[in-house]
Amino acid sequence: MAIKQLLKRTSGWLYLNSSVGRQQLHGAGVILMLHRVLADDNAANLPHRNELCVGPKAFEHLLGWLKKHFDCVPLMDILQPGSLRSERPKVALTFDDGWRDNAVNAYPLLQKYQVPASIFLSTDFIGSRQRFWWESIGETLWNSHGEKARAHLIECLQQLGRPLPVLCDDPDAQRRSLALLHFLQALKTLSPQDLNHLTDACPQESLPQALDWHQVRSLEASGLIRFGPHGASHAILTGLDDQTLDEELSRSRQALLNGCNRPLPVYCYPNGDNDERVRQHVADHDFPFALGTGTGIYRGANDPLALPRFGVSQRTARNPDLLSWRIYRGARP
């Protein structure tokens, strides 16, 4: 495993530092997908947080690396490039969901390195105390809110026929966190009602999880950040009937129009899930572009309603050569 990682890192490094790599990436755009930037790297290192969270040190390391190899540009510079073509490949940062830590932990570093970013909001959560189920359930089961809250949630899970696996009580933190990750992934098959019920059984945190509209407006006023919609309720769009899908799209679009000065003409599918019907509805709601989660490099010829992105985890932020290895895989014809 360690040797495989080393090979990936070495080929990633070689790729970005070779003429072949530079040629393949010439005029191309790379869109990165992030979610949360936590206050602490140790917290982000755990497997059940690793995919969606990066720590501040890892994030800063990533930003320095990006500045060295890419032109860090606003998303629209990739989607609607001007006449100025740069020698260097372009990269744009995107953040999904609208986490409060984007303002508290990510923004100061984006400002320090002058790296623009786009944040895609699940608009029902903005300015409310509504919570993302995987965060509330995951952290309650991780015992971040105390033994009593954890025991209560385990009881509710049992009633729904989802008993907590014994590995989630393993004394080893890495193994326990990995078991929790797999358990949370399996919960995705529960109905939205059941997931809401479980989230309600978790204790409230002192601060809301999501940004509020005041934060959104001040980030936008900085000129470095722009916003777009990522669903209203974060429902998976492919699972909605036509009417609910249209409600979800217009509610999120309207919230952005009310809350921002210049919302992006880009939709971002919750979970990345989209199909032909969803793409048609998104186009009907006046979005010429939409972001999925399929990986690849943007060269202008892609379907503008299923744009590829590369996800950034704590592991790749700490070792960006792993990211360039993935870009290399995505760049190959």
Structure tokens at 21: 């790599």
In the bound state with Zn ion, the residue whose beta carbon lies nearer, of 96 and 248, is 96
96 binds Zn ion (CB under 5 A): yes
Q: Could you say which DSSP state residue 242 is in?
A: H
Work out how close the CB of 269 gets to Zn ion at its nearest, in angstroms, rounded to a whole number: 9
Residue least distant from Zn ion (Cβ): 96
**Nearest-angstrom CA–CA distance, 278 and 274:** 6
In the bound state with Zn ion, the residue whose beta carbon lies nearer, of 263 and 270, is 270
Work out how close the CB of 197 gets to Zn ion at its nearest, in angstroms, rounded to a whole number: 20
Give the start-end residues of each E strand in 270-332: 289-291, 310-311
**Nearest-angstrom CA–CA distance, 77 and 59:** 22
Work out how close the CB of 166 gets to Zn ion at its nearest, in angstroms, rounded to a whole number: 30
Q: Is residue 238 left, alpha or beta, with left meaning phi > 0 and alpha meaning psi from -120 to 50? A: alpha
Dihedral sign, Cα of residue 253, residue 94, residue 27, residue 292? negative
Stretch that binds Zn ion, among 92-100, 146-154, 181-189, 192-200 (CB under 5 A): 92-100
Dihedral sign, Cα of residue 111, residue 115, residue 116, residue 119? negative
Work out how close the CB of 220 gets to Zn ion at its nearest, in angstroms, rounded to a whole number: 20
Which residues make Cβ contacts (< 8 Å) with residue 200, sequence separation at least 6? none
Stretch that binds Zn ion, among 90-98, 171-179, 298-306, 315-323 (CB under 5 A): 90-98
248 binds Zn ion (CB under 5 A): no
**Nearest-angstrom CA–CA distance, 157 and 86:** 53
In the bound state with Zn ion, the residue whose beta carbon lies nearer, of 96 and 124, is 96
135 binds Zn ion (CB under 5 A): no
Phi/psi at 144 (5° precision): -70, -15
In the bound state with Zn ion, the residue whose beta carbon lies nearer, of 122 and 314, is 122
Q: Which amino acid is at 231?
A: G
In the bound state with Zn ion, the residue whose beta carbon lies nearer, of 16 and 268, is 268
**Look-up: residue for tokens 């999501």?**
210
In the bound state with Zn ion, the residue whose beta carbon lies nearer, of 5 and 271, is 271
In the bound state with Zn ion, the residue whose beta carbon lies nearer, of 16 and 34, is 34
Work out how close the CB of 230 gets to Zn ion at its nearest, in angstroms, rounded to a whole number: 6
The residue among 258, 278, 259, 277 whose CA lies nearest residue 267 is 278
Phi/psi at 210 (5° precision): -100, 165
**Nearest-angstrom CA–CA distance, 233 and 35:** 16
Q: Are 69 and 88 in contact (CB under 8 A)?
A: yes
**Subset of residues 169 to 188 that bind Zn ion, contact rule: CB under 5 A:** none
In the bound state with Zn ion, the residue whose beta carbon lies nearer, of 25 and 291, is 291
**Look-up: residue for tokens 């992105």?**
309
In the bound state with Zn ion, the residue whose beta carbon lies nearer, of 47 and 98, is 98
Among 41, 60, 97, 135, binds Zn ion (CB under 5 A): 97
| Interface size with Zn ion, residues (CB under 5 A) | 3
Work out how close the CB of 159 gets to Zn ion at its nearest, in angstroms, rounded to a whole number: 27
Work out how close the CB of 198 gets to Zn ion at its nearest, in angstroms, rounded to a whole number: 18
Work out how close the CB of 4 gets to Zn ion at its nearest, in angstroms, rounded to a whole number: 29
**Subset of residues 258 to 317 that bind Zn ion, contact rule: CB under 5 A:** 270
* Binding residues vs Zn ion (CB under 5 A): 96-97, 270
